[in-house]
């Protein structure tokens, strides 16, 4: 399965791609059970939590907290949009106008002065006291690499933004799932 090779949302004439997929491979003396998920729907922490819950379902009983978090009534969590919905200001910065020319690949070779400047900027990042996930730690580096790759073909006034998948539970007043000890940092 190649989750990123197909659209995640079904459109007329196109089928939606898988968001989550399991594969069981029987081998001599055992079983390999594979978990695959699109990153837009599940990050590594979420996938690890899902694997832990799957393992627990096969071996033990769930705690009351796990059952409460897993069986929340979902039909009223996010209100449905009124018909017909027209995208407005809330998604304006996500809509990209068509470009007159196709993008071209470019290579950037950083000189020692530029590297020193970026290192100095990186050392000014404030330290957080709250626990940081791997995604939290890697996101600035991914953003910086993406920005540097686009630097030569953008004007100096272009604003760059970067987004990543988040856990919406806190915004929907849902309890956080109990994190496995291996995911705590």
Domain definitions of the chain by residue range:
3-74
- Residue 54: per-residue pLDDT: 85
Structure confidence at residue 36 as a pLDDT band (50, 70, 90):
confident
| Higher pLDDT, residue 121 or 80 | 80
Of 68 and 134, the one with more pLDDT: 68
User: Which range (37-51, 71-85, 141-155) has the least confidence?
Assistant: 71-85
**Each residue of 54-92: pLDDT tens digit?**
888 888 888 888 888 888 887 777 777 777 877 788 888
Q: Annotate 147-168 with DSSP letters as a single string.
A: HHHHGGGS-TT----------G
| pLDDT: which is higher, 59 or 116 | 59
Contacts of 185 (CB under 8 A, 6+ apart): 131, 132, 133, 134
Triad 78, 82, 84: Cα angle to 5°: 135
3-class DSSP assignment, residue 180? coil
Alpha carbon distance 160, 27 (integer Å): 48
Rounded to an integer, what distance in angstroms lies between the CA atom of residue 116 and that of residue 126? 18
pLDDT in tens, 86-113: 778 888 888 777 777 766 666 565 566 6
Task: Kindly state the average pLDDT of the residues 161-184.
Answer: 62
Query: What is the mean predicted confidence (pLDDT) over 43-64?
Result: 85
Query: What confidence score (pLDDT) does residue 184 get?
Result: 40
How many CA atoms lie less than 13 Å away from 5 in the CB half-sphere? 2
The whole-number average pLDDT for the span 128-156 is 74
User: The whole model's pTM is what?
Assistant: 0.35
């Amino acid at each position: 399965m190649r989750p990123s090779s197909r659209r995640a949302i079904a459109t007329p004439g196109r089928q939606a791609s898988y968001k989550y997929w399991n594969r069981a491979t029987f081998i001599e003396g055992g079983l390999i059970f594979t978990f695959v998920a699109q990153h837009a729907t599940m990050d590594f922490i979420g996938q690890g939590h899902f694997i832990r819950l799957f393992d627990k379902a096969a071996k033990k009983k769930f705690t009351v907290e796990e059952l409460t978090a897993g069986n929340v009534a979902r039909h009223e969590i996010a209100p449905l949009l009124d018909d017909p919905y027209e995208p407005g200001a809330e998604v304006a910065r996500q809509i990209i106008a068509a470009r007159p020319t196709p993008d071209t690949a470019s290579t950037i070779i950083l000189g020692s002065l530029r590297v020193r400047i970026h290192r100095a900027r990186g050392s000014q990042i404030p330290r957080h006291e709250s626990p940081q996930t791997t995604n939290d730690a890697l996101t600035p580096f991914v953003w910086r690499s993406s920005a540097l790759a686009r630097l030569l073909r953008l004007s100096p006034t272009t604003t760059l933004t970067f987004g990543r998948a988040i856990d919406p539970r806190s915004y929907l007043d849902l309890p956080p799932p109990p994190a496995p000890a291996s995911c705590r940092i």
